[in-house]
A and B are shown apart, each in its own frame.
Chain A
Amino acid sequence: MTSFLSRRRLQGGVTGLAVAALVLTTAACGGTTRGEEETTSNGGGAAASADPDAEIPADLAVGFLPKQVNNPYFSVASAGAEAATGEFQGQYTETGPSEASASSQVSYINTLSQQGTDVILTSANDPNAICSALDQARSAGSSVVTFDSDTDPECRDVFINQATTEGIAQTQVDLIAEQTGGQGQVAILSATANATNQNTWIAAMEEYAAAEYPDLEFVATVYGDDEDEKSFQETQGLLQTYPDLAGIISPTTVGIAAAARYLSGSEFKGQVALTGLGTPNQMREYVQDGTVQSFALWNPEELGYLAAYAGAALAAGQITGAEGETFEAGELGQFTVEADGVVVLGDPTVFTAENIDDFDF
């Protein structure tokens, strides 16, 4: 039965494949190579001029598409977006894939577009993979607002930045430095290896720490994929690999909660510092039992709220996404569109045992 793998046959097969590859390679000289083609910027959005006094139309259909459903962070952002939609009397829908993968969002964007949604609010799992779907949705008349995690700026109208990269990175590094005395080994527990915003923050954190806290050594970055169990196991693995670890930074809400749960039940409780980005409701018990001293986050409810108002302003024609335009976002006040269609929410809030009970999200 295995005679077909005789030496002669194998040799023949391998030679054949090699020749085929060679022929194809040489034949393809002068083919399509990288950097040859100019990308033509073509979002579907109309390049109309803005009218700051335009009314937000009634019954605006607003679709909210997070990276994945059942993520507490996005549930809070969704509540904010829903509240804002209620204020301007729109129709609100929340949808989304059950796993945070780049391609799974595409069919949900197509669905929203097919339903005739006026405003799509989304946080991208990949800056490029959902681009063509968003382009199609925009040519079909939807306004696209990204929040939390941006796409290629060509593919959306406005991006709501929760805080600047520098602000987020510096806050977390300052917190860990404060808790470790500014020295020792520090590890990072991130979300997925491809998460756009996490990777940007990690790079900025390492840069900032190298400049401000030279005695902090970043020894590893591990990925919990925003899954509770995997994040828990990765934390366990970190402490086994680096017994002298002084602190962990987890710039994701799922990660920091799982890490805190592991630490609070281990011998490392109080020994290894933990900070990062978490929600007060998930972290309350670990702050109260002393596992965690402080952590940070912007208010995701305000993020969703602002995103919905920005989408409404786009749909109404108050803004087009050009730099310098302003719009009103309900109780949050007035915001200005910055370069590349970015709107910044503000600085992150630091939560400690003193103030954590003032927040409920």
Chain B
Amino acid sequence: MAVDTTPATPAGQAPAQRPRTASRLRLLGSGDAVITGVLVLFLVVAALTVEGFASARNTGFLLLDVVVIVLIALPLTLVIVTGEIDLSVASTVGLSSAVMGQLWFSGLPLETVIPLCLLLGAMLGAVNGFFVTRLGLPSLAVTIGTLALYRGLAFVVLGDRAVADFPRSWTTWAISGIGGTGIPVVVVPLLFLVLLTGVVLHATPIGRSLYAMGNSEDAARFSGIDVGRTKFWLFVVTGVVSALGGIYWTLRYGSARADNAQGLELQVIAAILLGGVSIFGGRGGLLGVLAGALLLGSVRNALQLENVPADVLNIVTGGLLVVAVVAPQVAARVRSRTRARPAGPPSAPPARPAPDAHPSTDPAAQVPADQRGNR
């Protein structure tokens, strides 16, 4: 279930102080079992009922559509776990794409352009981080501002032009498959980044400190975590990864444009929330996020193959998201009523569901953490 490494810990306590071998073993395996189950179920049903869904070629198309979403979801999950948000990721994609196009157009080699774009991403992330951690402004407000600002800058850089004469060898690589399987080659480096992020989030003191500050920033600070510094670098990493997404986006579509990836931030956040990460911070796992992104992508893909109109498609994915966010809350309320006592410990902040508020749909998760190390 979407739990931190110590699911039965009252939300107010810093789980960082209680590393256990059992929780380490669970690692990625502790991700959101419900959403993963739904994904597997959906894939099986779609493979059996939707013509053309279960083919290598279609899997390739599906994966290409979710690659950038998964990529950006990695650092953004960490940001959201700490209780912050970064809405400027898609605009960072657009700006780095525009800058990439402009630099390439002016004759720089791609091997120079790409590091420069990553550097730009780091700077854009640092701007967000500076406003949030140094000036103490709410990240929602800051990144709504930079969402507009970075997109505006992208149009300043490239205007209404599109740069599209990138070398064929690069753009073909971006969509090529491994051997004849149809699985895109970019999935390999992406998997590496997924594993890296998973280990950092679920098996290191850094990861535990992220959950700690998401649960209670004050408690985290008193336990010796440098909250500001950690968050600052999280925003920087998010900027770099978004710029990487911009570079890949540009090569994948072979077109650098200022309006690239417009609205992508909502798809990324939707995948993260669908994956069971709490928007209030402190709760969620990376496996759930991965499953959430793949589920949204698969639903889209399967419904498109069934000729479902785009409007209905939006309704379905939107509805799915609402259910994913509302269901755990409803479940927690129902359970607290049947137990005739609050689900969370009294010390838990009321605005935030207790860590075990989620899993009434997942009976195993109600077993105390100490007894389910093998799960």
Contacts and interface: CB of A to CB of B under 8 A. Distances in A.
Nearest to B65: A107
A39 B161 CA distance: 20
A24 B114 CA distance: 10
Interface stretch (A97-105, A242-250, A291-299): A97-105
A70 B313 CA distance: 14
Chain B contact residues, majority secondary structure: helix
Interface stretch (B53-61, B139-147, B323-331, B351-359): B53-61
B168 interface: yes
Nearest to B53: A114
Chain A contact residues, majority secondary structure: loop
Contacts of A152: 164
B304 A111 contact: yes
B109 A32 contact: yes
A61 to B, nearest CB: 12
Interface string B120-158: 001000000010011000000000000000000001000
Interface in A14-49: 17, 20-21, 24-25, 27-37, 39-40
A224 to B, nearest CB: 14
Contacts of B167: 32, 36-37
B52 A115 contact: yes
A17 B236 CA distance: 13
A133 B105 CA distance: 24
Considering residues B104, B109, B261, B301, which has the most beta carbons from chain A within 10 angstroms of its beta carbon?
Answer: B109
A126 B168 contact: no
Contacts of B108: 33
A132 B249 CA distance: 13
Nearest to A18: B119
A79 interface: no
Contacts of A24: 111-112, 115-116
Contact of B310 (A30, A36, A69): A69
B272 interface: no
B112 A25 contact: yes
B253 A129 contact: yes
A1 B311 CA distance: 47
A132 B111 contact: no
A192 interface: yes
B305 A114 contact: yes
Contacts of A17: 119, 122
A185 B130 CA distance: 45
B168 A39 contact: yes
A103 B249 contact: yes
Interface in A325-361: none
Nearest to A39: B168
A34 B155 CA distance: 22
B169 interface: yes
A5 B231 CA distance: 12
A183 interface: no
A30 B255 contact: no
Interface of A: 1-5, 17, 20-21, 24-25, 27-37, 39-40, 69-70, 93, 95-99, 101-103, 106-108, 110-111, 114-116, 126-132, 152, 192-194, 199
26 contacts: A1-B228, A4-B228, A4-B232, A21-B116, A25-B112, A31-B112, A32-B109, A32-B110, A33-B107, A33-B108, A37-B168, A70-B311, A95-B309, A101-B263, A106-B253, A107-B65, A110-B58, A116-B52, A126-B162, A126-B253, A126-B257, A129-B254, A193-B259, A194-B161, A194-B258, A194-B259
Interface of B: 51-52, 55, 57-58, 61, 65, 104-105, 107-112, 115-116, 119, 122, 130, 133-134, 155, 159-162, 164-165, 167-172, 175, 221, 226-229, 232, 249, 253-255, 257-263, 300-301, 304-305, 307, 309-311, 313-314
